[in-house]
Structure 1
């Protein structure tokens, strides 16, 4: 699977670890930054991730910032993006199953790296259920 990933300075160390984690699983990962823990503005990285997923240059996206809120709000400004802020594997699964989420947003300051990795694995391994959920997802951006 082709994954695009980005975040901000608060999510930098998790991003680095997640890139390595995904690569060991055989995924193709495009890291859009940042490339250090120096202070940056999360929209500068969230918009390119959302654009790549929207343009189908990647199958799914992952964004990491301190709370996960900033990157989720930014990514969801793009019409074809359904970015989900998750803090456990159950929410990551439901985001895919019921909402056909295509960008996972993680709050680095509030979850462990192990929990973040588990959420990423769950998000990537879970399929959209369709059915009654497809109608609802279709109403998000009429």
Structure 2
């Protein structure tokens, strides 16, 4: 990143030395990254063979060709027909890629089972349902 002084500093040759000065080093890195466009940062790190990637927002993921090609976000429908997106299978293995066959239980489907298991009576559960709590 253009800091030969840090590259040649013998106290930074080992992790112990870098850890002792981590706040300083993170500050240098933060200022360097903040002074450049993302593409420049990634190109510089890639050229130096430093593993790096941008951090994706949820919106980025929905438009990224790699996420889409690997089916990391699946289209599904709720029982009422409403469409939504859900996570795909991770990791995606070539011989056994996995698949999603069920979107999960309906909202509140297991309320009675769970609440009765916690000691609620049928009357208490009915009261919670009448009050709109469940």
Task: Give the TM interval when normalised to the shorter protein.
Answer: under 0.3
The structure whose RCO (Cα within 8 Å, separation 6+) is larger is: 1
TM-score (norm 2): 0.22
Q: Look at both structures and tell me which one has the larger radius of gyration over its CA atoms.
A: 2
- State TM-score, norm by structure 1: 0.21
